[in-house]
Amino acid sequence: MATDLVRKYRLLFAVPGFRLSAVAALTAKLQPGMYAVSLLALGSHHLDYGGATLVVAAASFGAMTTPLRGRLLDRYSYAAVLWPLLALHLGTLLLFVAAARAHAGLTALFCLSVLAAVSLPPIGTLTRVMWRKAVPGDLRTTALALDSVLADFGFMIGPVAAVALARSITPDAALLVCGLLVSVAVPLGLRGAAVRAPKEAPAREHGAGPLRSAALRRVFSVAFCFFLGVNVMEVSLASYGRKGEVTLAGGALLSLIALASMAGGALLGGLPARAAQRLIHPTVPLGGNAVCLLLLAVASFVHPFLVPLACLPVGFCLGPCFASVYGTAADHAGKGEEAETQSWVAGAMMAGGGLGAAVGGWSLAHGGLAGALLLASVAWAAGAVCGARVPRLSPAVEGPRVASEASAE
């Protein structure tokens, strides 16, 4: 198993242009992990904490325009979309920093936060679409698994890096580093795209885009339910041991889940292609996560020692969920709508995550840790039910299979 795992990742990184795009993906995953905390650190230095949280919320509102930017990627060349967005994003970030230093009011910072989020180049969408086109069919699950591992890494390292930069240098240092990461990701992503994934002419347009597909609407529902459960779980575990206050024990549990998620995603990428295709259907990982979360709720009742152990299977199933949702959406995406489809998945996750953060706090206050975890389990079970109605496809291979060594599976 270990030999197969290493072999498949070695073959993946041997694909022309993949290493450049993987570095672009890594920098793009670090940015969202840092961004919210960076805004909070800078905003709270010049505003009260409640005002700073509104600035962060403004970024979430702006991020909901991701499907529009995805449509632009489908319609025009990648460079024609990403370079202007990068210039606008960096300019807005600099204006935000200058406004904060000038002690501008909440309204100005709120508006700049929205504009910065609206203009953020969708590098994550670009890399997933590019890998779909450039990677041989029997390595696509490996690429999706790597994407989920990088996402976990970014969200585990990003907040810590943002706090360290804001406290050790200046309050705006972390936000400036976020801009630097995007500045690195865009040219690397474009260079990787130019090597192996030429832009195709889009198919005939339809006003509703991916939303006209019943299968994709179900996939977006799966994404919504998935991240609803994720954020309910995060909010409830973050205050483990002391209701209503973030604790070190809660942070340790979330880090443990993130590490297990990275392991689960990496192992999924090493499975034989047929086995991975069976496991990547949304019903399997989301249903497994729902059961594992029920076990975690029971463990919180029985003994505190069992809670860290019960977190491991939850995290182990979490990584494959990301690969499942994005991969299933890619399988059902229409020609010329690939980037917009991936963007709708991200938008559905953000919407579910926002609701999960609010509902998670309420359920924790009224039902305790076990009640909140049960609610997260219900959300994941609902996602698994939605996923069961998504047709299973055997996606056509775009490009050659990996020679002999990978084809022997």
pLDDT of residue 320: 87
Q: What is the band of 246 on the pLDDT scale with cuts at 50, 70, 90?
A: low
Question: 54-63: per-residue pLDDT in tens?
Answer: 887 788 778 8
As a whole number of angstroms, the distance between CA 253 and CA 260 comes to: 11
pLDDT of residue 193: 66
Question: 343-379: per-residue pLDDT in tens?
Answer: 888 888 888 887 887 787 788 778 888 888 999 999 9
As a whole number of angstroms, the distance between CA 395 and CA 402 comes to: 16
Cα–Cα distances in angstroms (integers) from residue 378 to residues 135, 292, 293, 388, in the given order: 35, 12, 9, 15
Q: Where in the chain is the domain with CATH 1.20.1250.20?
A: 15-198, 209-390
As a whole number of angstroms, the distance between CA 87 and CA 104 comes to: 23
Give the residue-averaged pLDDT of 207-225. Answer: 86
Least-confidence region, from 114-118, 176-180, 234-238, 394-398: 394-398
Q: Is 361 exposed, middle or buried (0-12, 13-18, 19+ CB in 10 A)?
A: middle
The pTM assigned to this predicted structure is 0.78
Specify the CATH architecture of the domain 15-198: Up-down Bundle (1.20)
As a whole number of angstroms, the distance between CA 122 and CA 306 comes to: 40
Question: 62-98: per-residue pLDDT in tens?
Answer: 888 888 898 888 888 888 999 999 999 999 999 999 9
For residue 325, give the amino acid letter.
V
Question: 1-57: per-residue pLDDT in tens?
Answer: 557 677 888 888 888 878 888 888 888 888 887 888 788 788 878 887 677 778 877
Fold that domain 209-390 belongs to in CATH: Growth Hormone; Chain: A; (1.20.1250)
Can you give the C-alpha Rg of the chain in angstroms?
21
As a whole number of angstroms, the distance between CA 401 and CA 395 comes to: 13
The stretches of 64-139 forming alpha helices (DSSP H) are 66-75, 78-101, 106-118, 123-134
